[in-house]
Amino acid sequence: MTTLLGKTILITGAASGIGARTVELAGQLGADVIGVDIRLPATPGGTFVKADISTKAGVDELAAKLPVRIDALCNVAGLSGKTGAIPTLSVNFYGLRALSEALAPKIREGGAVVNVASMAGFGWQANLNRAISMVNVEGFPDVAKVVADHQVKNEECYPVSKELLVLWTFRAAHQALFKGRGIRVNAVSPGPVETPILTQFREVLGDQRVDSDIARVGRAGTPADIAPVILFLCSDAARWINGVNLAADGGLEASVNAEVLGF
Ligand code: NAI
């Protein structure tokens, strides 16, 4: 793994699971880490800023507190969908995007944004028209209105949030706000990972879906499987990688693709 010495890396979702492991590993690799979460981490690494990215006010307040120069933003914070479509889309997509756009001017030339999407966003192509329409709603919108206008049901809100994130990653990689400053924008899509959110996925998606995904690849992932992938995309070793959605899932997406495409 390449060094992150001297880089300032902002990591949301720092209090738990994938975000907490990413904070720990980034510190070990020499980065100055700023962790962000709505909850306090049990073992804080680096600097910690408590913030709620589910509202425009929360994002604005956070952006104002951050230093003028950041090398990479890791958008890891997320909700499972259990609390419904409005909070889930607010955190997993509209808040994440608003934070990224607010911080773009603070990210140095050649820096990076890494979005933690999900295998759950696999349906972005099948649901392309809805995803485009929802991504086209600019700024930090009235999320209740967006949900109503697009008839997003609570039970589908998590996959929808990740479909939007995958699509926006492709778009942002080419937007002047990022590309014009040499900022790469990529996504990592884990399959099931053993963290507190996985228990909630079992409630939202059902045990059968989660167990069958795990069975396809032999085991669930761990935060330690995902953190190095996120940090690789932050590093200069990934300087020619832009606008990709990188599966970190033990082969789950390949297995589903083979089934869907019939080979
Ligand atoms: P987790 O539940 O352990 O961590 C999520 C973190 O996000 C928590 O610390 C939580 O407090 C924080 N958060 C939630 N709402 C927030 C808000 N309004 N403002 C600031 N922070 C907030 O879950 P995990 O697994 O670490 O999830 C990290 C990311 O990985 C999420 O985006 C999730 O969707 C994604 N993911 C997780 C998978 C899994 O099976 N664990 C699979 C695929 C993707």
Does residue 165 surpass a pLDDT of 70?
A: yes
Q: Name the catalytic one among 93, 122, 124, 158.
A: 158
Cβ(115) to ligand 1 under 6 A? no
Query: Following DSSP, what letter does each residue of 197-245 receive, concatenated?
Result: HHHHHHHHH-HHHHHHHHHHHSS-B-HHHHHHHHHHHHSGGGTT--S-E
232-256: average pLDDT: 97
Does residue 236 surpass a pLDDT of 90?
A: yes
189-201: average pLDDT: 96
Nearest-atom number in ligand 1 for the CA of 201 is 40
Sheet holding 107-116, edge to edge: 47-50, 32-37, 8-12, 70-75, 107-116, 184-190, 245-248
| Domain edges within the chain | 8-261
Q: What is the pTM of this model?
A: 0.98
Residue 236: count other Cβ atoms within 10 Å of its Cβ. 12
Distance from the alpha carbon of residue 79 to the mean position of ligand 1, in angstroms: 6
In order of 214, 235, 247, 255, the CA distances from 259 in angstroms are 16, 34, 17, 6
Question: Which residue has the least CA distance to atom 44 on ligand 1?
Answer: 118
Q: What pLDDT score was predicted for residue 68?
A: 82
Whether CATH 3.40.50.720 fits 8-261: yes
Q: What pLDDT score was predicted for residue 45?
A: 85
Cβ(157) to ligand 1 under 6 A? no
Q: Which of 39, 54, 197 to mutate to test the pocket of ligand 1 (most atoms within 8 A of CB)?
A: 197
Using pLDDT thresholds of 50, 70 and 90, give the confidence band for residue 206.
confident
